[in-house]
Structure formats: C-alpha cells, structure tokens
Structure 1
C-alpha cells in the first residue's frame, strides 16, 4: 500500500512543479517561496483549528494533531532549516532553467537517498527493485546530455549547481523524514503543521534582509494564484508521502524513486505549456523512469 501512496504523492508533486514554474517565471523568488509555504500552512491550519474545536470529530476522521515535546519541536526545526535551504536553491534554479531540465535533475534525488538508506537504515530491496532503481537513475542521467542541446552546460552554469545542491538537501530531508515519522512516531498532519510554521519564520528572517528593505524588489513581485496552488498541492503530496512512511515496511530509497514519477506530468504537460525544446527526445529517458517505477511497484 505504501507504494501506491507514493504514486499519489508523485501525482500531486507533478502538478505542484507545473504551478511552481509559472509562479516563479519573471518573479521575485523569495516572496513566492514565502507565499507558497504560507498558503500550505494555512491549508493545514484549517484542520488544526477544527481539531481544537471538535477533537472527537478530528480523531474519527484521521486528522488529529499530537502534543509533542520541546525536543521533538527541535527535530522538526532542523527539517525546516534543511528544506528552507533546498527550496531557496531550487526556486532560484527554476527561475533560470527549463522545467524539463530542473525536474529530471531533481529526480536524481533517489541516488543520494539510496546511499543514506543503505548506510543509515540498512535497507535491502529485492533484485527487480534494484534494477528498477538504477534504471531510474540512468534515465535521469540521459537528461544532462539533452540539456546541453538547449545551451545549458552542466559544468559552467551556476543554476545547475544550485539545483544539484537543492537535490542533495531534499534527499537528506527525505532520509530525516523516516526518522521523524517512524522513530518519533509523528503523524503526517502534526509534522506538516509545525514544519510549515518554522519554515515561514526562517523565510521571514531571510526576507527581512534580502527583500523587505528594497522597494524595487518589492515592486518587482507579482502575486499569482498559482502561488497558493503550489502550497496546497505540496501539502497534499507531503501528506500521502508521510502516510506511506508510516508503514514499517516502507523503504525510503524506493519511495523516493517512486515519487520521481512526477516527471511524467512535468515533462509531458510542462513541455507543452511552456513550449520547451526537445520534448520528444526527453520522452526516451522518461520511458526508462516509468519502467523503473513499474519494476519497483510489481516486484513484491
């Protein structure tokens, strides 16, 4: 069941990527990021308020919020720091690179997760799952060759380094999620609520230095409804992802790979919406990724 929850997370992540690309195009990155996280927080906060007013109803419908210790708050704050760094780098890269390049590089996240899952959690997939996992990684590498045809040289473009850094931090957060969900027994909505709140506070500190004091930058920001959509879609994706992690049998390295099937939406639909190049050639590694996901899903 955790694998199919991972696919649901991938669906919402794909839609999230499309909305995020539109939200940052020609826009100020930091306020867009703050807006997306804030909209996601207010979405979760609605359920938090309901749980306070009608606790029995919240428990019956599966969105009760846990009371957590100060130490657990500290662990969640660490996750907020990691993801704030990842998002800042990713949003800057997304503003300057095609979505059909950014999303595939982000899809290399399972490689970093793979290393951590083996070393930290001693995960051991079966033969078909190994094949599927490495097929996804090899397919992602093909995108770098296609990216050069769009004038994007991976060794000299600083935004490529930004998206690689964002990917590494995102993978680290994924490994950390397993600790938060399984070792600390946090339920998804509790983790999402406090994680978003702390991330907002971190971003406010950053914006107080980099954006708020500068009238020209404030004037350059354009509000778009896609900003709200990004936040809500991300919370939906995170909810299914965290629900999948609650399964003791869930393998974080495979779940991370399954989530990357979001690339189907980002490359096919995104390529059409944003009129990007080499869409047909990008379908070749895309098929490889989908075969890899299939092998993981049906190898039990």
Structure 2
C-alpha cells in the first residue's frame, strides 16, 4: 500500500513542478515561495481549527493535529531550516534553468537518500536496487551533456551548483522525515502544519532583510494563479508521502526513488508547455531514470 501512496505523491509532485516553473518564470523568487507556503498553511488551517473546536469529528476524519511538546517542535523547526535552504536554492535555479534540466538533477536525490538509508537505518538493497540507483545517477550525467547544447555548462554555472545543493538538502530532509514519522511518531497533518508555519516565519525574517525594504523588487513581483496552486499540490503530495512513511515496512530509499516517476510529467509536459529545447534528446536519459525506478520498484 505504501508504494501506491508514493506513486500518488509523485503524481502531485509532477503537477507541482509544472506550476512552480510557471510561478517563478521572470518573477521574484522569495515572495513566490512565501505565497506557496501561506497557501499551503491555509489548506491545513481547517484541521487545526477542527482539532481545537471539533476534536472528535476531526479525529474520526483522520486529520487531528497532535498536541506536541516543545522538544518535538524543535525537531520540526530543524526540518523547516533544512527545507527552507533547499527551496531557496531550488527556486533560484528553476528561475534560471530549463525545467528539463532541473528536474533530472533533482532526480539524483534518491542516491543521497539511498546512502543515508544504508548507514542510518540499515536498509539493505539487493542487486537490482543497486543497479537501479546507479542507472539513475548515470542518466543524470547524460542530461548534463544535453544541457551543454542549451548553453548550460555545468561546471561554470552557479545555478547548477544551487540545484545540486538543493538536491542534497532535500535528500537529507527525506531521511529526517522517516525519523520524525516513525521514531517521533508525528502524524502527517501535524508535521505538515507546524513545518509550514515555521517555514513562513523563517522566510518572513529573510524577506524583511533582503526583499521588503527594496521598492524595485516589490514592484517586480507578479502574482499568478500558479502560486497558490503550488502550495496546494505540494501539501497534497506531502500528505500521501507521509502517510506512506507511517507504514513500518516502508523503505525511505524506495519511496524516494518512486517519487522520481514525477519526471514523466515534469519533462514531457514541461517540455511541451514551456517549449524547452532538445526534448527528444532528453528522452533517452529520462528512459534510463524510469528504468532505474522500475528496477527499484519491482525488485522485491
């Protein structure tokens, strides 16, 4: 069951990536990110209100937000710091790079998760899983060669380093998620609500220093329908992902890989909608990534 929940998360993440590309194109990155988080928090707010005023009905519906001690708030705040850093790097890279380059580099995240799952959680891969992960990494390298034809030289482009950093931090957050869900026993909606709340606080501090005081930057910001759509789709994807992690049999390294199937939407539809170049040449590395995911998914 947890694998199917992972596929649902991948579906909504793929749609989320398309909306995110639309939201940040020729736009100010930080207010876009803040807008998506506020939209996500508004989606979760009824659960928080229901928990306090209609606890029995909210519990019966399966959306009760837990009353947690200060220590657990600290754990969630750490996740918020990690993911805020990852998002800032990823949004800046997405603003300056084609989606068909960004999405495949992000697909290398499962490799970092894979290593962490082995050393931190003693998850043991079989031969097909090894082959699958290395196939994903090799396919990402092939994407870098296609990227050069679009004028994107990987070793000289700071946005490439930004997306690599974002990928590493995102993978670290994925490993931390398993700890929060299975060891700290947070339910999905509790983790989502407080994580979103702390991310907004962090971004408001950052924006008060680097964005709000600058009139030209405020004027450059454009509100788009895709900004709240990003927040709603991300919260939906996270809910299915965290529900999958609640299963004690769920393996974080496999879930991380299953989520990469979002590339079908990001690369194929993204290439069509945003008219990015070399779409056909990107299909071979995409096939390699999908074969790698299939090897992991069906290896058990």
For normalisation by structure 1, the TM-score amounts to 0.98
Partner of residue 15, structure 1: 15
Paired residues, what number? 300
Contact 2:86–2:167 (Cα < 8 Å) also in 1: yes
- Please tell me whether residue 135 in structure 1 is matched to residue 135 in structure 2: yes
- Please tell me whether residue 256 in structure 1 is matched to residue 272 in structure 2: no
Question: Offset of 1:4 from its aligned partner?
Answer: 1.3
- 1:168-206 residue CA offsets vs partner (Å, 9 max, x unmatched): 111111111111001000000000000000000000000
Alignment partners' CA distance in 1, 2:159 and 2:186: 35
Aligned counterparts, 1:98-113, within 5 A: 98-113=98-113
- Please tell me whether residue 299 in structure 1 is matched to residue 299 in structure 2: yes
Between 183-192 and 277-286, the greater mean CA deviation after superposition: 277-286
Question: Offset of 1:292 from its aligned partner?
Answer: 2.0
Alignment partners' CA distance in 1, 2:78 and 2:122: 23
- Please tell me whether residue 6 in structure 1 is matched to residue 37 in structure 2: no
Contact 2:254–2:297 (Cα < 8 Å) also in 1: no
Alignment partners' CA distance in 1, 2:118 and 2:6: 20
Alignment partners' CA distance in 1, 2:212 and 2:62: 39
Alignment partners' CA distance in 2, 1:78 and 1:37: 17
Structure 1 unaligned residues grouped into runs of 5+: none
Instruction: Name the SS of the counterpart of 2:67 in structure 1.
Output: coil
- Please tell me whether residue 144 in structure 1 is matched to residue 144 in structure 2: yes
Contact 1:133–1:254 (Cα < 8 Å) also in 2: no
Alignment partners' CA distance in 2, 1:156 and 1:289: 25
Alignment partners' CA distance in 1, 2:138 and 2:250: 23
Between 164-173 and 119-128, the greater mean CA deviation after superposition: 119-128
Question: Offset of 1:130 from its aligned partner?
Answer: 2.6
Partner of residue 118, structure 2: 118
Partner of residue 209, structure 1: 209
Question: Offset of 1:50 from its aligned partner?
Answer: 2.3
Partner of residue 43, structure 2: 43
- Please tell me whether residue 69 in structure 1 is matched to residue 69 in structure 2: yes
Question: Offset of 1:299 from its aligned partner?
Answer: 2.4
Alignment partners' CA distance in 1, 2:157 and 2:136: 24
- 1:265-287 residue CA offsets vs partner (Å, 9 max, x unmatched): 00000000000011111111111
- Please tell me whether residue 270 in structure 1 is matched to residue 270 in structure 2: yes
Contact 2:50–2:64 (Cα < 8 Å) also in 1: no
Partner of residue 168, structure 2: 168
- 1:131-164 residue CA offsets vs partner (Å, 9 max, x unmatched): 2232222222211111111110000001111111
Alignment partners' CA distance in 2, 1:241 and 1:42: 20
For normalisation by structure 2, the TM-score amounts to 0.98
Instruction: Name the SS of the counterpart of 1:213 in structure 2.
Output: coil
- 1:59-112 residue CA offsets vs partner (Å, 9 max, x unmatched): 112111111110000000000000000000100010000000011111111111
Alignment partners' CA distance in 1, 2:260 and 2:170: 12
Instruction: Name the SS of the counterpart of 2:6 in structure 1.
Output: helix
- 1:1-47 residue CA offsets vs partner (Å, 9 max, x unmatched): 11111111111110000000000001011000000111011111122
